[in-house]
Structure 1
Amino acid sequence: MKTKLDPYRIFNQVALEKSLSKAAGKLFISQPAVSQIITQLENDLKVRLFTRTPKGVVLTKEGELLFEYVNAGINLIEKGEKRLNDSKNLYEGELRIGVGDTIARYYLIDYLEKFIKIYPQLKIRIINRTTMELTALLKSGEIDIAVLNLPIGDNSIEIVPTSQIQDILVAGKEFSFLKDKTLDFEDLQNVPFIMLDNRSKSREYVEGYLNSQGISISPEIELGSHDLLLELARIGLGIAFVVKEYSGIYIENEDVFEIRTNIEIPGRSIGICHLKDVSMSPAAEKFVEILLD
């Protein structure tokens, strides 16, 4: 493709400059080389493209016809190259991020705000789905990166942990008699539990660990929102499994309090996920840098 396109680039420059020598100067090649390439192009097309004059060259009628299309094509190619370069330098383009509600609200917002201030021309799309749905979107190429609760058991996905979170139990004033105690889960067997629904990665992680310790829990209330967990705990409908880092305001305002148990659920991570062996876009790479900063 390069050997086929170059003669037309040279033809286009000669037509614009109306001079072989000026075109050679703009293209940083010798005048004899330009002359030779134009002659070869004329031989290939079996038409004369330029009339040589003492002052330079003038397009023939056939040359004018060809120039109309070549000039338009070269302009489009140069525009495409510029847009590609702009995209690499983050002057334009799109970043597609997959994330769940809770991580978006309590973790990602500040980083998105910082990124937008640095790269205001970039378009950002936020796709909100469950962890399973987002991993499928990663594999299909519909999103560039996903920010998810870990662990993710998929060998085709590269994972970069970025932040630690801790699952805890909280309750409202209705359960104040549990305050300042360290409880066994057996002490809580008659207390209603509130948890995220069973599609949630957080629910899967908590239940998986408790089951490994021989503890089985059947929540009376299942929800799709972390905020609702806190709200229902606050009004006394039960005790809720929540993420400590996302519950600070409720705990600080004493709307809920943390329940201590003899078994502490191990901390886990939030991480950036992208396809293995597939290069991230320049925009995705810069966003990951901000997350890891």
Structure 2
Amino acid sequence: MMSLRQIRYFIAIAETGSVSAAASTVFISQSTLTMALRQLEDELGVELFVRHAKGMELTHSGHQFLRQAHLIMSAVDNAKRSLQQSTDDIVGELNIGVTSLVAGYYLADLLSRFQRIYHKVKIRVVEDEREYIEHLLVSGELDVAVLMLSNLEHRSALNTEVLTYSRYHIWLPPEHQLLEEESLSMDLILKEPQILLSTDGMEQRIRDIWQDTCAMPDIAMKSNSVEAVRSLVSAGMGVAVMPDMTYRPWSVEGDRVEAKRILDVSKTLDIGLAWRRGGIRNLLVDHLLEVARESMSKPSLLNQ
């Protein structure tokens, strides 16, 4: 039967990328750790890692199980915390980085939940471009960051945890002819003028989706502002491929925006936390992770 010890060992391997480093982290022998992992894989009936000369790499099943493993350990830690200690004893400073697009949709809720529990912890937030936030993480100037994980450059130097997946939808003005279609393909969508969101690496993300088709889109306008994209779509200036985390049905002017699922787009925008791999970690990061796991996996306004 699966045990909490096996789950803890699995997380250690996933975070360090090797059995030897994980064994040092959890203070057991490599052989014991290897046996525990083999037993866990046998119990689950899947391979969690691909073994290679440079270490251990998570399989697709491994990534799926890592998320569940974190949720399990978070629930256990929360149960212990509620029985053993008050959060009044937890003090310190937590330096958090965030990118502009993510800040507008996730940060306020996450930090308000964290501060309600850990009200004696001082929080400092740095908002900047992803490249600079990554630099601050790797250099140790930030403890943790909330950002899009889909296009990280220094992934090998960072531990990451996906907290939510945002699918892509097409935004349309009310009464647009495409709203009458039962399902929409990219070929059909790209016949319309496109409004392109260009902030926080989104332009390249959307262009990658476009490239999966043979059509050449007509870009009517580009904007760094989600609200500008929303207003332009509602005014009938074009349509926009957008992650569903940004959707709400009304523009600033009060005009309606409709959204429909795109039939042949399976890519998602992965939102989560990143922190430096190796070295001494600010223990407050673990508390933020616990709160994030509980608060950030919320259903979208759109059908998944």
Give the TM-score normalised by structure 2. Answer: 0.59
8 Å CA contact 2:220–2:237 kept in 1: the answer is no
Q: Structure 1 pair 156/216, CA: closer, same or farther in 2 (3 Å)?
A: farther
Which consecutive residues of structure 2, in runs of 5 or more, have no partner in the other structure? 1-86, 295-304
8 Å CA contact 2:159–2:274 kept in 1: the answer is yes
Counterpart for residue 136 of structure 2:
137
Counterpart for residue 63 of structure 1:
none
SS in 2 for 1:212: coil
SS in 1 for 2:125: strand
SS in 1 for 2:256: coil
| Pairing 1:1-293 to 2, within 5 Å after superposition | 91-151=90-150, 152-153=152-153, 154-173=155-174, 176-181=176-181, 182-197=183-198, 200-217=200-217, 219-250=219-250, 255-293=256-294
CA-to-aligned-CA distance 1:71-112 (integer Å, 9 cap, x gap): xxxxxxxxxxxxxxxxx9864322111112332222222121
8 Å CA contact 2:234–2:255 kept in 1: the answer is no
Q: Which has the larger radius of gyration?
A: 1
8 Å CA contact 1:209–1:265 kept in 2: the answer is no
Inter-partner Cα distance in structure 1 for 2:188 and 2:164: 32
Between the aligned residues of both structures, percent identity stands at 21
Inter-partner Cα distance in structure 2 for 1:249 and 1:260: 14
Q: Structure 1 pair 187/209, CA: closer, same or farther in 2 (3 Å)?
A: closer
Superposition deviation, residue 120 in structure 1: 1.9
Superposition deviation, residue 161 in structure 1: 0.8
Superposition deviation, residue 145 in structure 1: 0.8
| Equivalent position amino acid for 2:229 in 1 | L
Q: Structure 1 pair 109/238, CA: closer, same or farther in 2 (3 Å)?
A: same
Q: Aligned Cα RMSD in Å? A: 2.7
Aligned length: 203
Superposition deviation, residue 256 in structure 1: 0.9
Inter-partner Cα distance in structure 2 for 1:135 and 1:142: 10
Counterpart for residue 31 of structure 2:
none
Q: Kindly indicate which of the two structures has a greater share of residues assigned to helix.
A: 1
Counterpart for residue 16 of structure 1:
none
| Equivalent position amino acid for 1:292 in 2 | R
Superposition deviation, residue 201 in structure 1: 3.0
Which consecutive residues of structure 1, in runs of 5 or more, have no partner in the other structure? 1-87
Q: Structure 1 pair 92/248, CA: closer, same or farther in 2 (3 Å)?
A: same
Superposition deviation, residue 215 in structure 1: 4.6
Inter-partner Cα distance in structure 1 for 2:93 and 2:202: 29
Q: Structure 1 pair 187/256, CA: closer, same or farther in 2 (3 Å)?
A: same
Inter-partner Cα distance in structure 2 for 1:272 and 1:215: 35
CA-to-aligned-CA distance 1:174-219 (integer Å, 9 cap, x gap): x62221213444444452211222x633332232233134454453
Q: Structure 1 pair 249/177, CA: closer, same or farther in 2 (3 Å)?
A: closer
